[in-house]
Amino acid sequence: MSFRIAAAPHGHSQRRTSDMMRWVCYALIPGVLVQSYFFGAGVWMQIMLAIITAYVTESLCLVARNRDARSGLRDNTALVTAVLLAISIPTLAPWWIIVLGTAFAIVVVKHIYGGMGQNLFNPAMAGYVLLLVSFPVQMTNWLPPTTISQYDLTLWQTLHTILFEYTPAGYSVEQLRTTIDGITMATPLDTVKTALDQSYTLSEIYQRPQFSVLAGVGWQWVNLAFLLGGFILLQQRIISWHIPGGLLAGLLVPALLAHLFAPSIMPGPIFHALSGATMLGAFFIATDPVSAATSNKGRFIFGLMIGLLVWVIRSWGGYPDAVAFAVLLANLSVPLIDQYTRPKVYGHQSGGQNG
């Protein structure tokens, strides 16, 4: 007889962390390209500011902890945190917004907990929530998609607005959000939430110019692009299907049932799937291997919890999009999820005896 020797069930991937994080950045490219097309080149400027801030703060933290800064930077985890946070905020947010959020994510959320692999919360989403709660005006000033906007900013005008909070001609971000007919644009999720509170029906809301066939103008294509990036991660085995599948099931199944029950006031699953940060959250944020559950069963439950929380907060909460809050709440539940879904040790018996 021959016996097959297998490795212990710890980590089976032969890829280094730096390679996996690099593939995450590659997979983000389609979504970032589409986002920059519909919302301007400011997204690239926010990414550059975030990367610079992340590398500086990561280096300082590693030096303060007597670690090798160069080797610590090569794992690309700070890079991914910076990019995820940068593409989550409005493209014309003031420069200090992304600097503050990125520094908080790296210093407080990551290194105070012990550095790479030790953080309890997703760093990018913790930084996002800090900014959203502290600076709600700046964090909700999303521009209308360029296809329905009356302003077409150049690179210099975009940079000037990010640095000084107004264009060279003196227009503020609030003025840039106003369309030709004098309506101040909001995101599709925010528009639906506000209009429903004003007793409009969904059929009336969807007649507004910021909505298209599937969801919001621009936003639907951004989500589809991030979905494409998610398929790339799945194909490369960087992530498994359990968290994205659980998240989308937890969000879309309740949305479908609610829409069937009250079609005039409850948006359907397609709208939820292609609005806000749904696909970005499902494939790039919730799948953070450090702050997520460990077993496949636990990952599916973890994703299911996030999706359900997103739907509940979007439907009745105070914030139109809820991915960041849902992820952080689920992060808190990971120890409990792991306790009840962790595979039993070989030889373990329910009576406390070891075989």
Choose the weakest-confidence range: 86-100, 173-187, 196-210: 173-187
pLDDT band at 14 (very low <50, low <70, confident <90, very high): low
Q: Return the structure tokens found at 142.
A: 């999303």
Reported as a pLDDT band with limits 50, 70 and 90, residue 353 is very low
- Structure confidence at residue 25 as a pLDDT band (50, 70, 90): very high
Looking at residue 13, its pLDDT comes to 52
- Residue 72 or 99, more confident: 99
Query: Is residue 8 over pLDDT 70?
Result: no
- Residue 82: the pLDDT is 96
**Residue 22, pLDDT above cutoff 70:** yes
**pLDDT score recorded for residue 183:** 58
Q: What is the pLDDT of residues 266-296, one digit of tens each?
A: 999 999 999 999 999 999 999 999 989 989 9
Mean pLDDT is lowest, of 146-150, 171-175, 176-180, 265-269, for: 176-180
Residue 310: what pLDDT? 96
pLDDT per residue as tens digits for the range 195-223: 998 989 999 999 988 888 888 889 999 99
Tokens in use for 49?
């500011």
- More confident site: 14 or 101: 101
Under the banding of pLDDT at 50, 70 and 90, the label for residue 233 is very high
Tell me what the pLDDT averaged over the chain comes to: 88
123 vs 100: CA distance, rounded Å:
13
The pLDDT score that the predictor gives to residue 169 is 86
3-state secondary structure the chain: CCCCCCCCCCCCCCCCHHHHHHHHHHHHHHHHHHHHHHHCCHHHHHHHHHHHHHHHHHHHHHHHCCCCHHHHHCCCHHHHHHHHHHCCCCCCCCHHHHHHHHHHHHHHHHHCCCCCCCCCCCHHHHHHHHHHHHCHHHHCCCCCCHHHCCCCCCHHHHHHHHHHCECCCCCEHHHHCECCCCCECCCHHHHHHHHHHCCCCHHHHCCCCCECCCCECCHHHHHHHHHHHHHHHHHCCCCCCHHHHHHHHHHHHHHHHHHHHCCCCCCCHHHHHCCCCHHHHHHHHCCCCCCCCCCHHHHHHHHHHHHHHHHHHHHHCCCCCCHHHHHHHHHHHHHHHHHHHCCCCCCECCCCCEC
Residue 352: predicted pLDDT: 46
Q: What pLDDT does residue 349 have?
A: 59
Q: What is the pLDDT of residue 98?
A: 97
If one compares 125 and 319, the residue with the highest pLDDT of the two is 125
The predicted pLDDT at position 354 comes to: 46
- Give residue for tokens 């600097």: 99
Backbone angles phi, psi at 228, to 5 degrees: -60, -45
Residue 79: its pLDDT value, please?
94
Distances in Å between the alpha carbon of 3 and those of 6, 11, 275, 289, 346?
Answer: 10, 21, 52, 32, 17
Q: What is the pTM of this model?
A: 0.89
pLDDT at 89: 95
